[in-house]
């Protein structure tokens, strides 16, 4: 994947800065993850415990992608940087050597993210 394609996908993912996901979309990370770990070891431990509590209500419970769920900003990337990405596919963008630099850049510089997102949607 070249730089331009990485920038596109990393910026385009930011659609997750708005809205929520139902617990059914990520509950596989919270229990019976694999034979070694009950909970997926990737997320921050406190974050995983918070999600487990919220999802104890049921699969239909909704959880925001980030703390500013109704604001278009770089908070989504900050959650990834903190290992608190809601979906496994999102958190992978912080762990991947191809995309981690973009996550770090967008975490540190919201204006750069806005510019790249603008380019990605055009």
Continuous H helices in the chain: 3-12, 45-55, 75-81, 88-95, 100-108, 110-121
Read off the pLDDT band of 58 (50, 70, 90).
very high
On the question of pLDDT at 32 being above 80, the answer is: no
Q: What are phi and psi of 20, to 5 degrees?
A: -140, 170
Dist. CA 119–CA 116, nearest whole Å: 5
Is 112 labelled a binding residue? no
Q: Please, which residues have CB within 8 angstroms of residue 27's CB and are 6 or more apart in sequence?
A: 55, 59
Is 46 labelled a binding residue? no
Q: 3-121 — its CATH code?
A: 1.10.420.10
Mean pLDDT, range 80-95, rounded to an integer? 84
Is 122 labelled a binding residue? no
On the question of pLDDT at 14 being above 60, the answer is: no
Read off the pLDDT band of 8 (50, 70, 90).
low
Report CA-CA distances (Å) from 106 to 36, 43, 120: 33, 20, 14
pTM: 0.78
From the number of C-beta atoms within 10 Å of its C-beta (0-12, 13-18, 19+), residue 16 rates as: buried
Is 44 labelled a binding residue? no
């Amino acid at each position: 994947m070249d730089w331009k394609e990485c920038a596109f996908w990393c910026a385009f993912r930011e659609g997750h800065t708005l809205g929520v996901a139902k617990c059914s979309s990520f509950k596989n990370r919270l229990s019976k993850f694999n034979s070694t770990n009950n909970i997926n070891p990737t997320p921050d431990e406190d974050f995983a415990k918070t999600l487990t509590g919220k999802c104890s209500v049921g699969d239909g419970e909704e959880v925001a992608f980030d703390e500013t769920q109704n604001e278009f900003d770089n908070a989504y990337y900050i959650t990834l940087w903190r290992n608190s990405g809601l979906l496994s596919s999102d958190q992978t963008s912080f762990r991947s050597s191809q995309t981690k630099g973009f996550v770090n850049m967008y975490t540190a510089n919201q204006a750069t993210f806005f510019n790249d997102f603008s380019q990605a949607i055009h």
